[in-house]
Chain A
Amino acid sequence: NAGVTQTPKFQVLKTGQSMTLQCAQDMNHNSMYWYRQDPGMGLRLIYYSASEGTTDKGEVPNGYNVSRLNKREFSLRLESAAPSQTSVYFCASSEAGRTETQYFGPGTRLLVL
């Protein structure tokens, strides 16, 4: 099993450009999450999807949209990137009702100039 995979591994954008971060898991998990990690801030939840077909806002959703394409895939879109969105983005998944046991992807490092 590959676990949780994320693409791309890194990306450089100019302010105003758009991009989609992809995440896929092969563990048949119902729940998926997107976090951002910033120095001195820990991980902050952007959006999560408790199950296929549902998405909910987390702590810092502004400037992002998500799509739960199917049970395996959960994408994060930046419509108009801003320098404040420079961060490392982590996708995670867990079984339904087992939020504590989240499996994390390797992260996508994003720089917005």
Chain B
Amino acid sequence: GEDVEQSLFLSVREGDSSVINCTYTDSSSTYLYWYKQEPGAGLQLLTYIFSNMDMKQDQRLTVLLNKKDKHLSLRIADTQTGDSAIYFCAEILGGATNKLIFGTGTLLAVQP
């Protein structure tokens, strides 16, 4: 089945690191993604990782992929109040549909 799970909330203090976790079910997913949704706005692609990688770093963002456990995480270093948003992980299903399956989203609240 197609299911992507995330915890609903994460609260951190400004300057700390945030780690948002996600588990997925389709082992054939070729790419896994992180999207950011700011209040009142649409989703913005933040970063992605190809399934044959186990880590990808992009400035303050680090994506870790454990393919064996089907676990994906997004680490934000030096979290700022501007990072407050909902973060969605997503996997892409291949085959004829080639569609994105989104997780429920994690609300990251950054306390000053």
Contact = CB atoms under 8 A, between A and B. Distances in A.
B88 interface: yes
Contacts of B4: 42
A97 B4 CA distance: 22
Interface string B62-99: 00000000000000000000000000100010000111
Nearest to A91: B42
Q: How large is the interface on B (under 10, 10 to 19, 20 to 34, 35 or more residues)?
A: 20 to 34
Interface residues of A, number: 22
A105 B37 CA distance: 11
Interface in B28-44: 31, 33, 40-44
A106 interface: yes
Closest 7 CB pairs of A and B: A104-B42, A43-B102, A42-B102, A42-B104, A104-B43, A99-B98, A100-B31
